[in-house]
Amino acid sequence: MISTNNIIDTHNHSTASGHAYSSLEEMAKDAASRGIPGFVLSDHSPGMPGSAHSYHFSNLRVLPRKIHGTFVFRGIEANIINSQGEIDIDEELCNELEVVIASLHIPTFPPDGKEAHTSAYIGAMKNPYVKIIGHPDDTRFPYDISRFVQAAGETGTIIEVNNSSLRPDTFRVGAEEVYKTLLKECRKQGVRVTLSSDSHFSASVGCVEHAARQIEEANFPEELIVNLSIERFLEEFGLEI
């Protein structure tokens, strides 16, 4: 049984994303009250309708490292915008951030077939700033899992196991089946994963119970999970507190 008590949740949205419902302060207070040691604030990048201007991200440096007793790390969930894997933020902005997640989203990448999705993911992994591929579980974006995992191994990219996709009320239907194959392949190729909530409300920050269950069902080795403790998280992301 893996313990997620000391998790640093790598994927969380605040009101700055436009379709999330808690302020950063509310998220930090809620997380701290439940003993979550830290989380990454990863609002949607400017290409997502309703999300924040790039200034929101470049100004994150004004935040204290610890808010209401929990560590907050500066991140973004960027949009992969084409089959070359380009993302919708530039190098200068990436440099300001500690954790860059890259994901495929319908508004910024209309589904375009398995080959295009695979090459989009692999192209994004080759971007040295992209540390995590977000929710690679969306059945609207089928891709070649074996090539995807191989590229993650070659580029050192971390694969996300997204708790929101696995919730009973998810709109990413079929994620569980994708993760079964994906986790098997990650285990085989020794590729690292991160468990994340993808929270859009404060009460969900740090909640990864469905992701943890999936990991257990896959007999996935704990040493390939990068965020079960703050020490490991800091080491994997090359960060200091």
To Zn ion, the closest distance from the beta carbon of 44 in angstroms equals 7
Query: Is residue 18 classed exposed, middle or buried when 0-12, 13-18 and 19+ CB atoms within 10 A define those classes?
Result: middle
Q: The tokens 């003993």 sit on which residue?
A: 35
Q: Residue 191 CB, nearest distance to Zn ion (Å)?
A: 20
Residue with tokens 């990864």, as numbered in its chain: 208
Residue type, 12: N
Which residue, 138 or 185, is less far from Zn ion as judged by CB? 138
CA dihedral 212, 165, 41, 70 (to 10 degrees): -30
Residues 170-199 that bind Zn ion (CB under 5 A): 198
Three-state SS at 49: coil
- Position 205, amino acid: V
Residue 22, interface with Zn ion (CB under 5 A)? no
- Could you give the CA distance from residue 101 to residue 25 in angstroms, rounded to a whole number? 22
Whichever of 82 and 150 has its CB closer to Zn ion, that residue is 82
CB of 63 to Zn ion, least distance (A): 19
Are the CB atoms for 8 and 230 separated by under 8 Å?
yes
Spell out, one character per residue from 89 to 128, where the chain touches Zn ion: x when CB under 5 A holds, - when not. --------------x-------------------------
Stretch that binds Zn ion, among 24-32, 73-81, 145-153, 226-234 (CB under 5 A): 73-81
- Supply the minimum distance, in Å, between the C-beta of residue 217 and Zn ion: 23
Nearer to Zn ion, 1 or 78 (CB): 78
Answer for the pair 1, 35: CB distance below 8 angstroms, yes or no: no
Give the C-alpha separation, 75 to 84, whole Å. 22
> Of the two residues 22 and 103, which places its CB atom closer to Zn ion in the complex?
103
Is residue 137 a contact residue for Zn ion (CB under 5 A)?
Answer: no
Q: Least CB distance from residue 164 to Zn ion, whole Å? A: 7
Q: Give min distance, CB of 140 to Zn ion, in A.
A: 12
Q: Which two tokens stand for residue 192?
A: 């690292």
* Total binding residues toward Zn ion, as defined by CB under 5 A: 3
Binding site for Zn ion (CB under 5 A): 77, 103, 198
